[in-house]
Amino acid sequence: MTKSTTLSVPAPAAAPDCDNRGGGTAKDTPRRPRKRPSALLSKAGVTAMLGLATLYTLLPMLWLVLSSTKSRQDLFATNGFAPGHHFALLGNLGHLFKADHGIYVRWMANTVLYAGAGALLATVFSVAAGYAFDKLAFPAKEKLFAFVLLGVMVPGTAMAIPLYLIAAKVGLVNTFWAVFVPGLVFPFGVYLARVLSAAYVPNEVLEAARMDGAGEFKAFCRIAFPMLAPAFVTIFLFQFTQIWNSFFLPLVMLSNQKLYPVNLGLYVWYSSALSQGHPQDYLLAVVGSLVSVAPLVVLFLMLQRYWKSGMTAGAVK
């Protein structure tokens, strides 16, 4: 009888420790020091950057307020951020509204009409178009929306000369409509309305309305539009500010001073002060700039609740 021989298989070698490159144990390996966050990303750095941005925003406004309270002599004889020797704001305002037979009041009325009515109609069109792009199905929808995005990327100043040539063909140059009609087109508002429609208007609510017999127009007016109220205010404020601050398009389209918006009228006074040596026009431009900012500030303060809710739509699930 032969004895069975048992072959012993050698145990596999242990895998080398990746952290033990120097031959010692893992405990002997020195720990790498943690990288400290960059100074720009630290709390103090972010606070400092926000402080600089705040100063950059508020210093021009502070200069405008202080300069508007000075007399013409103090305006050129004192530091820009120092108060004048006499508080002359009320006298400056009276001179502003009486200058050139009250032309500044006409400019402000024109601007309110251009920006108020134009932004309101543009917002209605934008919300309706954005809702249609979001909720309705129609041929070539995404291709048409691509053209809308193309309009967002083209700056408004690049369109001023083509718009002038079109207005000249139809005889609208130097008329109210030459400035009012282009403000009705707001591609960014259409894009923003589509995004906010997806965030605010549930598809289930529209399906229930359609099952109850509501048509698309009725569903939009009775159900979707009230839900899009914060979006409406957000788009309105965007377009209102854009038209209110518009300068190049009125400069190209208009030559009649009675049709000027306030920005173009202030530019005329400022140019007159520099080229013709009329220092009183410089003070008029400064005080008029302060008055022209006031409606924007009041409007934002009145509608800030809707503005905040519109800008944060869809941010929290």
Query: What's the whole-number mean pLDDT along residues 136-149?
Result: 91
State the Cα–Cα distance between residues 74 and 83, nearest whole angstrom.
Answer: 9
State the Cα–Cα distance between residues 213 and 43, nearest whole angstrom.
Answer: 57
pTM for the whole structure: 0.80
Q: Residue 233: which residues within 8 A CB-CB, separation 6 or more?
A: 303, 306, 307, 310
State the Cα–Cα distance between residues 170 and 49, nearest whole angstrom.
Answer: 51
Give me the percent of the chain exceeding a pLDDT of 90. Answer: 46
Residue 159, number of CB atoms within 10 A of its CB: 16
pLDDT tens by residue, 222-254: 999 999 988 899 999 999 999 999 999 999 999
pLDDT tens by residue, 152-204: 998 888 899 999 999 999 999 999 999 999 999 999 999 999 999 998 899 99
Query: What's the whole-number mean pLDDT along residues 5-24?
Result: 48
Are 92 and 68 a contacting pair, CB within 8 Å? yes
Q: Which residue has the tokens 């606070």?
A: 47
pLDDT attached to residue 2: 43
- Quick one: tokens of 315? 């941010």
Confidence of residue 8 (pLDDT cuts 50, 70, 90): very low
Domains of the chain, earliest start first = 92-311 (1.10.3720.10)
State the Cα–Cα distance between residues 63 and 210, nearest whole angstrom.
Answer: 57
pLDDT tens by residue, 49-84: 889 999 998 998 999 999 999 888 888 888 888 888
Are 270 and 287 a contacting pair, CB within 8 Å? no
Are 186 and 126 a contacting pair, CB within 8 Å? yes
Q: Residue 188: which residues within 8 A CB-CB, separation 6 or more?
A: 152, 238
Of 93-102, 204-213, 273-282, the range with the lowest mean pLDDT is 273-282
pLDDT attached to residue 293: 92
